[in-house]
Structure 1
Amino acid sequence: MRRILRLMLTAAGPYAPQFRRTLRISLAASLVQAAAYATLVPLLAELTRDPVRTDRAWLWVGLLAGLVTVEAVLRIRETAFTYDHWHLVTQATRLRLGATLRAMPQQELARRAAGDLGSVVGGNATAAAGAISSLSTLFIQLVAVPAVLGVVVLVLDWRLGLVLVAATLAALPLVRQVQRRANSGFHHVDEADADLAARIVEYVQGLPVLKATGQAGADSPRLRTVLADQHHAQSAANRSAALPVAGAQLIVQLALVALVALGAALALDLRLSPATVAAVVVTAARFAEPLGLAAVMTKLFEQAEAALHRVDELLAVRPLPVTPGGPGPTGHHITFEDVTFGYEGQREPTLEQVSFTVPEGSLTALVGPSGSGKTTVTKLIARYADPQHGTVRLGGADLRSLDPDDLLRHLAVVFQDVYLFDDTIRANIALARPDATDADITTAARAANAHEFISRLPDGYDTRVGEIGSALSGGERQRISIARAILKDAPVVLLDEPTAALDTESEAVVQQAVARLVAGRTVVVIAHRLSTIAGADQILVLDGGRIAQRGTHAALLAEPDGRYARMWHAQLAAREWHLGPSAPLDGLRPLRDPGTVDEG
Structure 2
Amino acid sequence: MLKTYRRVFSVAGSYEPQLKIALLLSVIASIVQGIIFALFFPLLSALMTSPIQPQTVWILLGMMGVLVLVEGMLRWKELDFAWDTSNDVAHETRLRLGEQLRRIPLEELNRRRSGDLNVVLSGNVSEIVLWIGSLCTLIIQTIVVPITIILVTLFIDWRLAIALLVSFPFAIPIYRYFRTLMGKALRDVTAVDAEVASRVVEYTQGLPVLRATQQVGQQAQRLQEALSVQRSVQSTAQQLSNLPAIALSTLVEVGIFLVLALGTFLIVQGTLTVPTLFALLVIALRFSEPLAQLTGLLSVFDLMESGLERIEAVMNIAPLPVSPPAAHLTHSDITFEQVSFRYADQIEWTLQDVSFQLPERTLTALVGTSGSGKTTIARLISRYADVQRGTIKLGGVDVRSLTPEELLQHISVVFQDVYLFDDTIRNNIRFGRSTASDADVEAASRAANCHEFISRLPHGYETTVGEIGGALSGGERQRISIARAILKDASIVLLDEPTSALDTESEVAVQRALDQLVSNKTVVVIAHRLSTVVGADRILVLDQGQIVEQGTHAELMEKGDRYSSLWQAQQQSRQWRIAA
What TM-score does the superposition give when structure 1 sets the normalisation length?
Answer: 0.95
Structure 1 match to 2:485: 485
Structure 2 match to 1:424: 424
Structure 2 match to 1:336: 336
**Per-residue deviation, 1:299:** 1.4
After superposing the two structures, state which structure 1 stretch, 363-372 or 84-93, moved more.
84-93
**Per-residue deviation, 1:154:** 4.0
Tell me which amino acid in the other structure corresponds to 1:65. G
2:117 paired with 1:104: no
Tell me which amino acid in the other structure corresponds to 1:412. S
Tell me which amino acid in the other structure corresponds to 1:288. S
**Per-residue deviation, 1:50:** 1.1
2:576 paired with 1:572: no
After superposing the two structures, state which structure 1 stretch, 60-69 or 252-261, moved more.
252-261
Alignment of 1:539-578 (within 5 A): 539-560=539-560, 562-578=561-577
- Give the whole-Å Cα distance in 2 for the aligned partners of 1:134 and 1:218: 42
Write out per-residue CA displacement over residues 126-153 of structure 1, whole angstroms, 9 at most, x where no aligned residue. Answer: 1221342211001110110011112234
Whether contact under 8 Å (2:424, 2:463) holds in the other structure is yes
Whether contact under 8 Å (2:475, 2:507) holds in the other structure is yes
Whether contact under 8 Å (2:412, 2:493) holds in the other structure is yes
2:452 paired with 1:452: yes
Structure 1 match to 2:519: 519
2:281 paired with 1:281: yes
Tell me which amino acid in the other structure corresponds to 1:135. L
After superposing the two structures, state which structure 1 stretch, 500-509 or 38-47, moved more.
38-47
Tell me which amino acid in the other structure corresponds to 1:514. L
Tell me which amino acid in the other structure corresponds to 2:299. K
- Give the whole-Å Cα distance in 2 for the aligned partners of 1:540 and 1:335: 13
Tell me which amino acid in the other structure corresponds to 1:56. T
**Per-residue deviation, 1:326:** 4.6
- Give the whole-Å Cα distance in 2 for the aligned partners of 1:348 and 1:222: 28
Whether contact under 8 Å (1:178, 1:295) holds in the other structure is no
Structure 1 match to 2:264: 264
Structure 1 residues 159 and 235: CA distance shift in structure 2, 3 A: same
Tell me which amino acid in the other structure corresponds to 1:28. I
RMSD: 1.3
**Per-residue deviation, 1:393:** 0.6
Whether contact under 8 Å (1:178, 1:245) holds in the other structure is no
- Give the whole-Å Cα distance in 2 for the aligned partners of 1:391 and 1:219: 48
Tell me which amino acid in the other structure corresponds to 1:321. P
Structure 2 match to 1:236: 236
- Give the whole-Å Cα distance in 1 for the aligned partners of 2:163 and 2:133: 34
**Per-residue deviation, 1:257:** 1.6
After superposing the two structures, state which structure 1 stretch, 278-287 or 534-543, moved more.
278-287
Structure 2 match to 1:12: 12
Structure 2 match to 1:246: 246
Structure 2 segments unaligned to the other structure (5+ residues): none
Whether contact under 8 Å (1:324, 1:401) holds in the other structure is yes
Write out per-residue CA displacement over residues 301-355 of structure 1, whole angstroms, 9 at most, x where no aligned residue. Answer: 1111001110111111111000111543231101001100100111111001000
- Give the whole-Å Cα distance in 2 for the aligned partners of 1:219 and 1:187: 29
SS state at 2:495 partner:
strand
Tell me which amino acid in the other structure corresponds to 2:412. A
- Give the whole-Å Cα distance in 1 for the aligned partners of 2:75 and 2:543: 70
Alignment of 1:76-475 (within 5 A): 76-217=76-217, 220-475=220-475
Write out per-residue CA displacement over residues 530-556 of structure 1, whole angstroms, 9 at most, x where no aligned residue. Answer: 111011000000000000000000000
Tell me which amino acid in the other structure corresponds to 2:568. H
**Per-residue deviation, 1:248:** 1.9
Whether contact under 8 Å (2:495, 2:523) holds in the other structure is yes
Alignment of 1:42-53 (within 5 A): 42-53=42-53
Structure 1 segments unaligned to the other structure (5+ residues): 586-600
**Per-residue deviation, 1:464:** 0.6
SS state at 2:67 partner:
helix
Whether contact under 8 Å (1:11, 1:128) holds in the other structure is no
**Per-residue deviation, 1:159:** 3.7
Whether contact under 8 Å (2:86, 2:131) holds in the other structure is no
**Per-residue deviation, 1:218:** 6.0
Whether contact under 8 Å (1:150, 1:287) holds in the other structure is no
Structure 1 residues 57 and 219: CA distance shift in structure 2, 3 A: farther
**Per-residue deviation, 1:217:** 3.3
**Per-residue deviation, 1:289:** 0.9
Whether contact under 8 Å (1:421, 1:469) holds in the other structure is yes
Write out per-residue CA displacement over residues 438-464 of structure 1, whole angstroms, 9 at most, x where no aligned residue. Answer: 111111001111001101111010111
SS state at 2:366 partner:
strand
2:496 paired with 1:496: yes
Tell me which amino acid in the other structure corresponds to 2:404. P
Give the paired residue count: 580
Whether contact under 8 Å (1:382, 1:411) holds in the other structure is yes
Structure 1 residues 78 and 218: CA distance shift in structure 2, 3 A: farther
SS state at 1:558 partner:
helix
Percentage identity across paired residues of the two chains? 49
- Give the whole-Å Cα distance in 2 for the aligned partners of 1:219 and 1:383: 40
- Give the whole-Å Cα distance in 2 for the aligned partners of 1:37 and 1:166: 18
Whether contact under 8 Å (2:245, 2:296) holds in the other structure is yes
- Give the whole-Å Cα distance in 2 for the aligned partners of 1:93 and 1:222: 32
Whether contact under 8 Å (2:35, 2:152) holds in the other structure is no
**Per-residue deviation, 1:369:** 0.3
After superposing the two structures, state which structure 1 stretch, 492-501 or 229-238, moved more.
229-238
Whether contact under 8 Å (2:328, 2:406) holds in the other structure is no
- Give the whole-Å Cα distance in 1 for the aligned partners of 2:192 and 2:18: 34
**Per-residue deviation, 1:490:** 0.6
Whether contact under 8 Å (1:267, 1:273) holds in the other structure is yes
- Give the whole-Å Cα distance in 1 for the aligned partners of 2:88 and 2:329: 41
Write out per-residue CA displacement over residues 170-202 of structure 1, whole angstroms, 9 at most, x where no aligned residue. Answer: 222111111000110100000001001111111
Tell me which amino acid in the other structure corresponds to 2:183. N
- Give the whole-Å Cα distance in 2 for the aligned partners of 1:148 and 1:387: 59
Tell me which amino acid in the other structure corresponds to 2:289. E
SS state at 2:70 partner:
helix
Structure 2 match to 1:590: none
Structure 1 residues 487 and 240: CA distance shift in structure 2, 3 A: same
After superposing the two structures, state which structure 1 stretch, 42-51 or 407-416, moved more.
42-51
- Give the whole-Å Cα distance in 1 for the aligned partners of 2:388 and 2:28: 55
Write out per-residue CA displacement over residues 194-250 of structure 1, whole angstroms, 9 at most, x where no aligned residue. Answer: 001111111111111112222223663232111111111111122234334311220
Whether contact under 8 Å (1:153, 1:284) holds in the other structure is no
SS state at 2:284 partner:
helix
